[in-house]
């Protein structure tokens, strides 16, 4: 379905939002505080809607762009079983993109608009997908670390105050945890394998570790969207809390694999029960966000090309639909 029909909703909701009164806002916050789910047709502040559209569409775009780094190894997967699992995973990502665009559309922004923003560079996607997948071990590292980090971020979203998003996340999280396990399984097999395979696994961890822990976003003190999102219960835990949780869970897994986490300052703190870790080089993340990661241009160029190359197919489908609607009406 091509969703032009949805484009018109935005205007009317803008009109409503201009009338936001203190009483409306207070009543809304009360509902949030009472853990009631906000549904598509419910009144909501314009900023709440904007925040969700931004977050949900970024999430959808991340799923779609995220298909590329893994798609890069589909044709070279080392066994038929691994090929099938990886293909199923990439397919799941397309499916997640679909549910998420669907959740976004409930807020009055069409999938076409969201995709146009991705292609124009206006909308962002997770910077992690701007790193290249250089060896098969990267399929393991992405599943283990990137999906592992994504799950930490996403499980709390299953309780997000916006109903359609929360429900989409329940489905997505189930599949993500399978993805994480298959990634870890690739790493385990490599670490049990030859010296060359083990070196491949270590190299992948070296390259993916820091980008993965940066996936939780800027430190709490620098995070510009956090406080309001927490008040609206879109977000349940802070970036730093989630990052710490991820590190605490992941370091013992690296130990189990016999791999070294590339952080000389990493140490378990008996007092706090958490791992202390080294300083994060935020300038690298900022560079990637600014468009200067290793694969930013490549990823977007590929998506644009797919979109442009498919224009004649979409046009044909519409023309066919119109012709046959006319015939049916006649």
Residues engaged in binding another protein (CB under 8 A): 64, 67-68, 71, 74-84, 87-88, 90-91, 94-95, 97-98, 101, 136, 186, 189-190, 192-194, 196-197, 302-303, 305-307, 309-317, 319-320, 323
Shortest CB 89 distance to another protein, Å: 9
- Angle subtended at Cα 157 by Cα 116 and Cα 297, rounded to the nearest 5 degrees: 35
CB nearer to another protein: give 59 or 235: 59
Shortest CB 114 distance to another protein, Å: 11
CB nearer to another protein: give 88 or 230: 88
Assess contact for 48 and 232: CB atoms under 8 A.
Answer: yes
CB nearer to another protein: give 70 or 147: 70
**Which residues, 6 or more positions from 230, have their beta carbon under 8 angstroms from its beta carbon?**
236, 238
Q: At what angle do helices 111-120 and 46-71 cross, to 10 degrees?
A: 60
End-to-end CA distance of the chain: 23
CA distance linking residue 20 with residue 23, whole number of Å: 8
- Angle subtended at Cα 178 by Cα 78 and Cα 84, rounded to the nearest 5 degrees: 30
CB nearer to another protein: give 21 or 79: 79
CB nearer to another protein: give 256 or 320: 320
Backbone angles phi, psi at 106, to 5 degrees: -65, -15
Shortest CB 87 distance to another protein, Å: 5
Shortest CB 289 distance to another protein, Å: 22
Shortest CB 66 distance to another protein, Å: 10
């Amino acid at each position: 379905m091509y969703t032009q029909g949805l484009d018109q909703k935005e205007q009317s909701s803008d009109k409503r939002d201009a009338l936001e009164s203190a009483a409306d806002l207070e009543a809304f916050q009360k509902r949030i505080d009472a853990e009631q789910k906000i549904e598509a047709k419910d009144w909501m502040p314009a900023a709440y809607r904007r925040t969700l559209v931004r977050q949900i569409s970024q999430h959808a775009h991340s799923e779609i762009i995220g298909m590329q780094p893994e798609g890069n190894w589909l044709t070279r997967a080392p066994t038929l079983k691994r090929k099938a699992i990886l293909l199923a995973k990439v397919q799941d990502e397309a499916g997640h993109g679909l549910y998420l665009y669907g959740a976004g559309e409930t807020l009055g922004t069409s999938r076409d608009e969201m995709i146009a923003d991705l292609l124009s560079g206006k909308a962002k996607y997770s910077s992690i997908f701007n790193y290249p997948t250089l060896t098969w071990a990267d399929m393991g590292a992405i599943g283990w670390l990137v999906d592992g980090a994504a799950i930490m971020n996403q499980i709390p979203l299953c309780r997000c105050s916006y109903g359609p998003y929360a429900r989409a996340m329940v489905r997505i999280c189930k599949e993500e945890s399978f993805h994480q396990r298959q990634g870890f399984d690739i790493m385990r097999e490599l670490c049990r394998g030859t010296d060359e395979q083990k070196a491949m696994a270590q190299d992948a961890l070296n390259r993916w570790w820091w980008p993965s822990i940066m996936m939780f976003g800027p430190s709490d003190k620098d995070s510009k969207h956090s406080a309001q999102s927490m008040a609206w219960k879109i977000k349940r835990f802070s970036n730093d809390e989630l990052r710490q949780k991820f590190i605490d869970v992941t370091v013992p897994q690296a130990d189990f694999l016999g791999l070294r986490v590339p952080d000389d300052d990493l140490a378990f703190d008996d007092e706090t029960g958490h791992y202390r870790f080294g300083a994060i080089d935020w300038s690298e993340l900022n560079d990637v966000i600014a468009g200067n990661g290793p694969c930013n241009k490549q990823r977007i160029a590929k998506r644009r090309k797919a979109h442009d190359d498919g224009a004649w197919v979409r046009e044909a489908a519409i023309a066919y639909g119109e012709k046959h609607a006319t015939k049916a009406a006649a």
